[in-house]
Amino acid sequence: ALRPEADYLNELNPAQREAVELLDGPILMLAGAGTGKTKALTTRIAHLLNTGRARPNEILAVTFTNKAAREMKERVGRLLGQPAEGMPWLGTFHSICVKLLRRHAELVDLKSNFTILDTDDQLRLLKQLVQAANIDDKRWPARMLAGIIDDWKNRALTPDKVPAADAGAYNAKGVELYAQYQTRLRELNAVDFGDLLLHMVTIFQTHPDVLEQYQRWFRYILVDEYQDTNIAQYLWLRLLAGGHKNICCVGDDDQSIYGWRGAEVGNILRFEKDFPGAHVVRLEQNYRSTPHILAAASNVIRGNESRLGKELWTDKPEGEKVRLIGHWDGEEEARWIGEEIDAMQGGTRGVRPMSLDEIAILVRASHQMRAFEDRFLTIGLPYKVIGGPRFYERMEIRDAMAYFRLVVSPEDDLAFERIVNTPKRGLGDKAQQTIQRTAREHGVSLVQGARIALEQGLIKGKGGAALRELVEGLARWNAMTRGPRIEFEDDSVIDDGTAPVRYGLPEVSHIELAQIVLDESGYTAHWQNDKTPEAPGRLENLKELVNQLDNFENLQGFLEHVSLVMDNEQDSGGPKVSIMTLHAAKGLEFPAVFLPGWEDGLFPSQRSMDESGLKGLEEERRLAYVGITRAEEVCTISFAANRRVFGQWQNAMPSRFIDELPEDHVEVLTPPGLYGGGQMSAGIESRAAQANVYNSPGWKRMQARQGQYGMSQPRESRNTVIDATAVASFTLGERVFHQKFGYGGVVGIEGDKVEVEFDKAGTKKVVARFLSAKDD
């Protein structure tokens, strides 16, 4: 039996109800975050089904992600009191268009079994065309052309429709190449991602009979997150809704965050013109967040000039203020958030006890995730990464680690198999089998096998040359892990008659070596030449990987760490903290949200700050608005004063968005490790001076707010490692401080271990980096 209507309708306010019950004609629901747009949209689907207005396959419902589509289906089922079966047209634009295009492929000269090109192939194809046209691929790289073509496709421009002046540096050649590319794709019976929509728009425009069929078929159309549709998607919708005009779009101009991918917030503003007489429903009550959180979000977004402007209110109890905290560096930030989550879980943080499922960390850039994942793996805090694999499971990280493993141990055959043809070296199955066979016959590792196969001339040509380069590279990099070394004697060690202690440091540090390996193997270039939207993120992840090596003495130690932490973790199936990017968090909500990395250059991104005009910056600000409005009860914003970039410390300035938070609704927290008269090591001191962080206006501003300006200095945080020079910098008799054992005097030095006679704890041998100099 179906559910009585009144049940689900009663859960709505009058404005939402209107949007649900007005089933015919165009409706635009334009409202701020958390006002129940998605809830109303979902209820509308349930209502259409419940009242028998439409069968499940007559409803076209577009969501932004597959995850959102699954959730919507579940919710419809819950509203109806029975599972929503067979809604084939509830999905993302792309998933729906693939299905449609398979049915009508022949109308654009494709076969229904067309392949969807992966971006590697796509780029290779464009490269061939560029070269064939005698264009210098160095000056006009194929990936630049690919970006231009994507942009055209997002704007629904087929080659014949592109304005001649639009090809930038390529001029008329650009359009010509675009046309050739499309021809080539047809010959290959292939499409790229952008074609899915473009072809469907073309089919609808050129075959009115087909269009009419679907206009009749899809009796009701619903679109969530309408503010992020691009022009091709918009045209597609407008064509489909052109007959009955039963289209319901919901969106929020303040949450338009995909402009960089061609989304047009103007689509929302144009709705009333395209569908005259459209019903516009405005929702103002926010059901998600507390007044403090809402006030913070509203104040930030007010900084944008180009917006429709909406006011939100809530009748929720006041709750916690938005919490703001600054940290010494990114590792410290991750450590603090880990402890904070632990405390929240235990209910000792002044807020109600929370399950890990109720907590999310939203980052601006995916490379920020590494610090959290590492920390959480170390302390055994279960987490999941939404919208992508976890850091050490990412393809580029696994590839890079495979290289590092081979450099450290050339017998690692699994690692060799992974990277032998990554990046592509023209080594097909046959060549790889030859290597395997040779290795087996000689009872040696694959690297050795490859070397022998080359010597015996078993692998020739381009692939052979590339393989030789790889094998030689591996030998060279491996040698670098062992030497040459800079050696020195330390005469501060007690002369006990044995040979003097010699210190040796490799001439090339393991951090430099890692970079060399990635560069010389062609792996860095592989991603630099990739034009997919993910490529820049992958390069950043690789940088972050190299950065992190600073925490370890050598590659070996790092690899051990990773295998240990990855092994530590078992999927208990229990609740987990969610980690994701702000972009992936759109439409979601969590009782507690952490927003780390609010620093200029990271958030807002450097690119948006370098841009002339406000467009990029305003999109970043909308992203900040999306972030804050995900929080229901507790919202914690943080920044770090220092970030490591390429193993170098860089002073980071607190985000300009922090200035835009309303003081009355923000509580500034005191970081435990930074104030309160702690100890400071020589390493930190010099870095602090170098970074000049205490002179940054943001830092001063924060201290001033706390009324603590100038009171104290940073203390060594647990995760910060003193540079190598500090190891040898202790002298006998020197007074030192240890976090656990307190004060003492140095009585011996052995390598990186220092023997200390502690005032209270007795004589102990401790690792030098846990000691700081006490100059009194």
Report the partner that residue 655 touches, choosing among Mg ion, ligand ATP, none (CB closer than 5 to 8 A by kind).
none
**Under the criterion CB under 6 A, does residue 39 sit at the interface with ligand ATP?**
yes
CB 96 within 8 A of CB 60: yes
Q: 39 is in the binding site of which of Mg ion, ligand ATP, none (Cβ under 5 to 8 A by kind)?
A: ligand ATP
* Using rule CB under 6 A, residue 35 touches ligand ATP: yes
By a kind-dependent CB cut-off of 5 to 8 A, residue 107 interacts, out of ligand ATP, Mg ion, none, with: none
User: Is 707 assigned a ligand-binding role in the annotation?
Assistant: no
Please report how many Cα atoms fall inside a 13 Å half-sphere around the Cα of residue 609, on the Cβ side.
12
Binds ligand ATP by CB under 6 A, chosen from 3, 5, 9, 13: 13
225 noted as active-site residue: yes
Q: What b/e string do you get for 613-626 counting C-beta neighbours within 10 Å, with b at 16 or more?
A: eeebbbbbbbbbbb
Per CB under 6 A, 36 contacts ligand ATP = yes
- CB 241 to Mg ion: min, Å: 21
The separation between the first and the last C-alpha atoms of the chain, rounded to the nearest angstrom, is 82
Choosing from 150, 192, 195, 224, the catalytic residue is 224
User: Rounded to the nearest whole angstrom, what is the least distance from the CB of residue 33 to ligand ATP in the complex?
Assistant: 4
User: Residue 133 or residue 280: which is nearer to ligand ATP going by CB?
Assistant: 280
Candidate segments 26-34, 321-329, 407-415, 515-523, binder of ligand ATP by CB under 6 A: 26-34
Q: Does 34 sit near ligand ATP (CB under 6 A)?
A: yes
Q: Work out whether 18 is an interface residue with ligand ATP (CB under 6 A).
A: no
Q: What is the CA radius of gyration of the chain?
A: 30
Burial of 457 from C-beta contacts in 10 A (0-12 / 13-18 / 19+): exposed
Binding flag, residue 229, ligand ATP (CB under 6 A): no
Q: Which of 225, 252, 340, 619 is catalytic?
A: 225
Q: How many CB atoms lie within 10 A of CB 191?
A: 24
Name the binder of 338 from ligand ATP, Mg ion, none, CB < 5-8 A by kind: none
* Contacted by 35, from Mg ion, ligand ATP, none: CB < 5 to 8 Å by type: ligand ATP
Q: Does 587 bind ligand ATP (CB under 6 A)?
A: yes
Block residue for tokens 């102990």: 764
- Contact status, residue 585 vs residue 351, Cβ threshold 8 Å: no
State yes or no: 481 annotated in a binding site: no
Closest CA to 19 of 287, 311, 278: 278
Distances (CA, A) of 137 to 17, 53, 118, 126, 141: 58, 57, 21, 10, 5
Tell me whether residue 252 or residue 734 sits nearer to ligand ATP (CB atom). Answer: 252
User: Which amino acid, 245?
Assistant: K
- Cα separation, 394 vs 105, in Å, equals 34
31 is an annotated ligand-binding site residue = yes
Least Å distance between CB 754 and ligand ATP? 54
Nearer to ligand ATP, 11 or 393 (CB): 11
Q: Which listed residue (255, 532, 629, 720) is catalytic?
A: 255
Q: Is 224 a catalytic residue?
A: yes
Confirm or deny that 36 is annotated as ligand binding: yes
Q: Which of 314, 262, 307 is nearest to 13 (CA)?
A: 314
Contact letters for ligand ATP, residues 237-276 (x by CB under 6 A) = ---------------x--x---------------------
**Counting contacts by CB under 6 A, is residue 37 touching ligand ATP?**
yes
* Residue pair 137/130 in contact by the 8 Å Cβ criterion: yes
Report the amino acid identity of residue 149.
Answer: I
Active-site entry in 143, 576, 586, 630: 630
Could you say whether residue 47 binds ligand ATP (CB under 6 A)?
Answer: no
- Residue closer to ligand ATP by CB (options 403, 594) is 594
Kindly give, in sequence order, each residue whose CB lies less than 8 Å from that of residue 347, ignoring residues fewer than 6 positions away. 353, 354
Q: Which residues contact 586 (CB under 8 A, 6 or more apart)?
A: 64, 225, 228, 255, 257, 626
If we measure between CA atoms, which residue out of 137, 109, 139 comes closest to residue 124? 137
Comparison of 34 and 698: residue with beta carbon closer to ligand ATP: 34
Strands 485-489 and 666-668: unpaired
Judged by CB under 6 A, the number of residues near ligand ATP is 19
> Do the Cβ atoms of 49 and 43 come closer than 8 Å?
no
Residues at the site binding Mg ion, with contacts judged by CB under 5 A = 38, 587
Segment 610 to 649, residues that bind ligand ATP, using CB under 6 A: 629
Q: Does residue 434 interact with ligand ATP by CB under 6 A?
A: no
Which letter, b or e, does each residue of 103-141 get, where b requires 16 or more Cβ atoms within 10 Å of its Cβ? ebbebbebeeebeebebeebbebbbebbeeeebeeeebb
Q: How far is the CB of 257 from ligand ATP (least distance, A)?
A: 11
Number of alpha carbons in the 13 Å side-chain half-sphere of residue 579: 27
Instruction: Kindly list the catalytic residues.
Output: 37-38, 224-225, 255, 630
Where do contacts with ligand ATP occur on this chain (CB under 6 A)?
11-13, 16, 31, 33-39, 252, 255, 287-288, 587, 589, 629
Binding positions are: 31-38
Q: Residues at the annotated binding site for ATP?
A: 31-38
